Structures are given as structure tokens and as C-alpha cells.
Amino acid sequence: MKVKIVSILILSFLVAFKGRPQSAKVNTMPAPTELMCDLLSADRFYSINGYLTNIPEINTTNKNIQSVLIFNKQPAFSWELNAQAKDQKQSAYQLLVSDNLKQLDQDIGNVWNSGKITATTSTGILFKGIALKPNTIYYWKVKAWNNLNEASPFSSPVSFITASELADYKNPSYPLQITEQQPVSLKKVNHVYQIDFGKDAFSQLKLQLFSKTGKDTVMVRLGEMLDANGNVNRKPPGKIRYAQYALVLEKGTHTYKLNIHKDAYNTRPVAIKMPDYIGEVLPFRYVEIEGYTHSLTGNALTRLFVHYKFDDESSSFHSSDSTLNAVWDLCKYSIKATSFLGIYVDGDRERIPYEADAYINQLSHYAVDKEFTMARNSHEYLITNPTWPTEWNLQSVLMAWNDYLYTGDTRSIAYYYKDLQAKTLIGLIDSTGLISTLTGKVTADFKTSIHLKNDNLKDIVDWPRNTETDGFVFTKYNAVVNAFHYRALVAMQQIATALEKTADAQMYQKASQRVKVAFYKLFFDANRQIFVDGIGTDHASLHTNAFALALGLVDAKHRPGVMAHIKSRGMACSVYGSQFLLDGIYDAGDGDYGLSLLTSKSDRSWFNMIRAGSTITMEAWDNKFKPNQDWNHAWGAAPANIISRRLMGIEPTSPGWDSFVIKPQIGALAYAAIAVPTIKGSIKASYRQSENVFEATVSIPGNTSARVYLSLKQGKKYEVMLNGNSIKTRKVNKVAVIEGLEAGNHALKIIYK
């Protein structure tokens, strides 16, 4: 009987198997996700006066509606591949674009059907279909093949809207958003309501108040800072903000919106203005209401926080050090909070873009959100609207390279190529092999070439120039300026290579090497093994040595001497200079010293900003270092990118994150974990260490790969494990190197014996 039952089961299985199509197999290639058009996250995006909304049809006649528009005749498409699909690598793709969603649902791309394109690229794919029409909604989707030639399903369709006029190249942007917020605390003290929104923000205020007679007047005070008695500080130092408004109430219950007064200085013609659909804003955290005799709850007050599109969940960081965690939170929030104009500015005092601010803002923005349009718009604005510091003009080339490195999209560097060539300041090189603004070469034609209109170039080193430069001695030939010049030439070589301008790339490579030779010849003090500030001085500032190290000029054999000098100077630079100081420290492999500066509690630290009461990074370490400073400067947010790029060690090595490095330098931390947003998807890493074990778990997105560098303890035997298996690794300068980790989750371990 048992034999008979088994026979029947086997027969049933064979019949079932025979009935299945022989070619059917499980599709292991997931559909692409997170589609982007011209670096804008799909799908369509509408707002009405700053409030996000869904509109079924395009409406370009309503001026109150702000929509995301594509200006390019040839937009570029990008997508992610599933990170959980192990070793997922794209080998080909097919992209469909249609002006009819029903046709696209039937896999008909009546505007463009790319066909199967053999390519590993999944970022910056240029449109090559029928000419796009203005004021039109288009729909698109994409499928991909993996390295086993398995095809994915098509992605879900998404759409974009073209502008009324199309250009050969023009970067789009999101409209500003309003997020409504309620207070975190409200109390009544001596007949005055005291309200705290928890963090500072560029905002407006709505209040719902009652008047029995219609003859009541209340005083509303807004501020960023409290005084010694816990009240809104009515006379804050510097440019820390305070404002008051007399509000006349109407009879009954009504909602009032304060009409924020304009500041004469930060609304000058040179300043970036708030758009009319938003109106003026003020940075404030605290509110006081005096003269209101009725009960008041938090629901009656709404702060209208104005900011650029920002995904709070796209990045995260946590470690075993609470101070480091607080510094990360401060810097991440600063990037969002200072995005209120849709372009990087210096802060609230001037509301003017500056290259130095934008460079730090760019890197930190990339570290905390998958958003690239604000950085690109800011950088491109500064190319044609430069500021006067010599070094800051050179930083335009560095920002251009970062833009390409993080997006994989060549259009911006191609469009501004000639401008970027001029921004290297190569026209200022003289017989010394160096550049100087004091040799008569800054002619009218030269200034025109870099779009400098009313100012003259002037070396800056750090800001304030007279107090934060560690005694830097300004001479005819400035070491810091030439360090930036060197790095700009290196970046220009990389840009030329990416654009297949081989002759230019070779020229810039030779030019950068000549600068390095001259830099060593004229600035290096061989006896002290450090660099001096200029020709004719023996003064060696922190800045000269830190910038030389960060910008790639210090040979390995000279790093110990340079680092010893840097460490002897401490944090003798501004919050701007700290970006390059920390970059140099981590490049030299001194994670312990880097961590000590990031977590310092001195008066020149990020912790001091928190201790002083600011929730956005300050323009300076403390009011005493810059009496006219403001409390909302993103150039103080360097740790956002330093923690991501240096301490956690996650940084792209090829454009569009096709490859990247994981090089942790966590110092004495027992534990640290991070999520880094990229155009390829989120990279996640966590590290844990004890006396005899270092463990790392990493999640690598699809269509990218990582090289891992793990520092080794000296004098100890060790074993490296990858996903539970012992492996052999290359050892380079006290570091174990693991090559080519592909998509998926991986566990690494070093066991010391």
C-alpha cells in the first residue's frame, strides 16, 4: 500500500513538471527603482505656495502652482538596482519614453525606445528620442539585464514635465517647501507665554488667537537666543536674530500670519531673494507672546519652516560617543535648515553665495541626502558670479569635479568647460612656476575670463583674515593659494579626461607636476620638514601645512613632519579651515587625532556651538572669535561630510559611485554605524571593535563595487574573515586591502591572535 501511494505522488510530480514550460525560470533580476530625470526624483512634483499637493493635470497658467520642470532638450536618466540582490551588476538596459501612459503600459515608447543597450552605466543616460515638446508630460520606465544576462521587469512608470522653453543645457530645481511645525514646549511665566520650537529654522509664524472685544493688542517676539533669565534675547550679539511685532486682534477667533520684516542688508541687490510665492522669512527658535489674556495651547501656534526638498530618512549616523552623535545631528540639520533660498548662501547676514561656503555645503549635502540639484545650481551660479578671494575662485573647479564624481553626469562640466579652465587661474603662472595676484597679470581681460566684475582678486587663506589665519604671513607668492591652484589643475585633468579631451588632460597633468615641483622648491623647509607660508618668510602656519596635506601636495615621506607641526597648532583655524584640516589629518591616517577634534569640548569646537545654544552651525567657533557672526552658517557643517567620507571612510572613486572605498578610521570608538545616500542607492556600514577583534558589516548597492581598507594593529598576527571564510589580503602600509566587494551584504572581521 505504501509503495502504491509513493508511485502516485511521483507520477503526479512528473505530470506537473512536464506541464510547465521548459524555458521558465525564476527571475532573479529585480526591476530598477528610484528613477531620476535630470537629477530630480521622479515622479511629478507640485506645490501651491510652498505646500506639496497632487494635481491630476498640468496647469501652467496658475501662478500659485510651482512645479518641477525639465528644461533640457536632452534630459538625463538615472536609476538604482536592488541592493539586496547579491552581486547585482548591470550589463545592459532598455529605456522607454512616451507621451501616452497607456502606450507605455503596453511597453511602447513612442517618443524613445532605446532598444537593448549594452552598458553598465545607470546614471546620466542622455535622451536620444524624438524632439521633446514644451509644456508636455512625458512618461518613462526602464529595465535592466544583469551580468548573467537575466532581464528584469520594467520599472514602474514615472513622469516629467517639460518647461515652456527648452535649452541645450539648464539645470532644474525643486520649488521651496513649507513644513508646518508645532512647539515642543509652551509655558506661561509672569503673564508671558514662552514657546520653544526645539530648533532654529528659517520660518514664518501663524497664530490662532481670540479677542472678546476686537481691541486687544499682543506683542509677539521671535528670536534665536535666550538671555540669562530664559527670555527671548532682545539684544542678541552680532547678527543673531530678534524681531518683535505688535499684533492687533480682531473680534472673535482668527488665524494671523506675521508679516516678516525685510532686513535692509540681506535683501540688497547682490543678495539672493526669497521668492514671492513664499515671502520673507526669519530664523527663529523661540517665541514670546505678551498681552494675551486667554488660554493658549501649542496647537494655536504653527511655525512655517521653509526649506528645499530634503529626505530626513536618507542618512543616519550613530556611534558609541554621544558628543560625536550630537555633532552629526547638528551638522545634518544645518544642511536642511540653511536651504531656505534653494541655493547655498553664507547665512542670514548677507544671503550671498560664496565658493568656500558652497564647497563645504556641497560635500555635506551629498553626505546627508540624495539630492544634487541645489549643489549644482549653487556651483553654476558661482561660476558666473564669483567672489573676490583668490582661493575661492579655484574651488569652483573642485566643486565641478565633485559634481561629476557624485552624479556621473557630464553635462555641467561639459557646458562650463572653458569657464573652468579659466578658474584654474593658470593665466597667472609666471617664471617661478607659481601663481600670484601681485605680478600684474590680473588684467581686465583676465578678470573677464573668470567673470569677476567689480572686485579684484585678493588672497584670503581663512576668515576672518586677520584673526583666524594662525599668523599666516602674506607675501607675493602665497603657499595656500598655490596649494589650491595645484589641486584645481589635478581636478581639471580629471575633467578633461572624462570629456575625452586627451591633449588638455596631458597639459593639465604636466602643469600640476610643475606646480608641485615649484611648491616644494620654494616653500619646503627641509630642516624642519614643514612648509612655510611664502617666499621670503620662515613662518609656517597651520594653514599652509594643513592645506598642502589636504590638497595632495605632501609626499608620504614628509607626512610625519607635517603632521607633527599640524598637531602642535591644534584648531588654530576657523570653521571653514577645519574642513581642510580634518581632510588632511584623515588623509595622513591619524583617525585618533581626527576624532579628538570632532569630539572636542573646547571653545573652538562643534560641541561649543551646541553648548552656546545654537541648533544650526555657527559662522565662527564662538561669538568672541567673530563678534558680528550669525548662528546659521552651513560652512560650519564640515563634520557631516568628514564623518561620512573620512571617519567612516565611504567615498566614491569613480564617477556616479561606480566604485567606492570603505576605509574606516574610527579611532577609539567602540561602535559606529552609518547610512550614506548615493545616486546608486544607500551604502550602509557598521563597525565594532574590541581589543582582539574588528568587525565590519557593509551593504553595497547594486551596480557598484567597493574596495575595503582595514587598518591593522602593529606587531600582532591576524586573520581576515569575509562572510565567515578566511581570506588572504594585500597588506599596504599597515592596512589590509579587500578588493572588489560587489552588491549585497557582507561581513568582515579581523581577528588578532
Is the pLDDT assigned to residue 18 strictly greater than 90? Answer: no
Q: Is 430 left (phi over 0), alpha (psi -120 to 50) or beta?
A: beta
Is the pLDDT assigned to residue 7 strictly greater than 60? Answer: no
Average pLDDT over residues 229-256: 97
Contact present, 605 and 611 (Cβ < 8 Å): no
From residue 445, give the alpha-carbon distance in Å to each of 233, 441, 450, 481, 740. Answer: 50, 10, 9, 21, 49
In terms of Cα–Cα distance, which of 175, 195, 411, 310 is closest to 634?
310
In terms of Cα–Cα distance, which of 744, 740, 702, 745 is closest to 90?
702
Q: Which domains does the chain have, with CATH numbers?
A: 33-167 (2.60.40.10), 177-307 (2.60.120.260), 316-647 (1.50.10.10), 662-752 (2.60.420.10)
From residue 304, give the alpha-carbon distance in Å to each of 177, 222, 283, 289, 640. Answer: 9, 13, 11, 17, 25
Read off the pLDDT of residues 483-514 as tens digits, 9 standing for 90 and up: 999 999 999 999 999 999 999 999 999 999 99
CA-CA distance, 412 to 417, in Å (whole number)? 8
Contact present, 35 and 158 (Cβ < 8 Å): yes
Q: How confident is the model at residue 44 (pLDDT cuts 50, 70, 90)?
A: low
The β-bridge relationship of strands 158-167 and 137-146 is antiparallel
Indicate the pTM of the whole model: 0.95
Is the pLDDT assigned to residue 13 strictly greater than 60? Answer: no
So what's the pLDDT on residue 182? 98
Read off the pLDDT of residues 515-574 as tens digits, 9 standing for 90 and up: 999 999 999 999 999 999 999 999 999 999 999 999 999 999 999 999 999 999 999 999
Give the number of other Cβ atoms within 10 Å of residue 697's Cβ. Answer: 15
Sign of the four-CA dihedral 38, 502, 680, 128: positive
So what's the pLDDT on residue 52? 85
Is the pLDDT assigned to residue 456 strictly greater than 60? Answer: yes
Average pLDDT over residues 387-391: 98
What DSSP element (H or E) covers 188?
A: strand 185-189
Read off the pLDDT of residues 573-612 as tens digits, 9 standing for 90 and up: 999 999 999 999 999 999 999 999 999 999 999 999 999 9
Is the pLDDT assigned to residue 337 strictly greater than 60? Answer: yes
Q: Which amino acid is at 519?
A: F
Give the number of other Cβ atoms within 10 Å of residue 533's Cβ. Answer: 26
Average pLDDT over residues 51-78: 81
Average pLDDT over residues 706-729: 95
What DSSP element (H or E) covers 606?
A: helix 606-612
Give the number of other Cβ atoms within 10 Å of residue 279's Cβ. Answer: 16
Is the pLDDT assigned to residue 130 strictly greater than 80? Answer: yes
